Amino acid sequence: MQKPDSLKAHLIASDPDLRQNPEKLLIFADEGNIVAAGTGSLSFEYRFKLNIIITDYSGGADAIMVPLLAWIAVYQNELLSNPDQRKTGIGFEMDYNNHASRDISIKLELTERVIVKRGDAGRLEVRHLAEPVPTPDYQDNFWRLYESYTLLAEWHTPTDQP
């Protein structure tokens, strides 16, 4: 699976606190399923709940949620565009440790399509398909998220997709 690593790298690159302390960000693929059509092809789809845990986070929730939504818009757009999926596809919990920090758990319903083709001499080739990329309302290659004058997060358009 490639999406968990992609999202982890994105969140670390976007958030100054996570850049300094990447060990605060934990990612787990829970409740996973393999969905295959049984048509003789070995192609399949991963379906799983990605659990993102950020421990002892002192920043604001917006600094995580806005970059997360930017990643979702590219890599799992139906969580935003599909009326049924957007109701429950992005969940979160926050535990307030004290006045200065909290633990955040975010759960995403993700899929990842994998094509398996036969090559020469019985060789099997695996390819993870990119998600269809919708044209966003804004096409900035780079942006910064601020609250008042405080930099919360940054976004760089990805050069490739998982």
Evaluate whether residue 143 is within a structural domain: yes
pTM of the model: 0.76
Closest CA relative to residue 142, chosen from 59, 70, 64, 69: 70
Evaluate whether residue 161 is within a structural domain: no
Render pLDDT for 89-102 as a digit per residue (tens, 0 to 9).
Answer: 999 999 998 888 89
* Domains in the chain, number: 1
Domain span including residue 146? 3-155
Render pLDDT for 115-146 as a digit per residue (tens, 0 to 9).
Answer: 888 878 888 888 888 777 665 555 556 777 77
- How many residues are given for the chain? 162
Evaluate whether residue 133 is within a structural domain: yes
Evaluate whether residue 93 is within a structural domain: yes
Asked whether residue 31 carries a pLDDT value surpassing 60, the answer given is yes
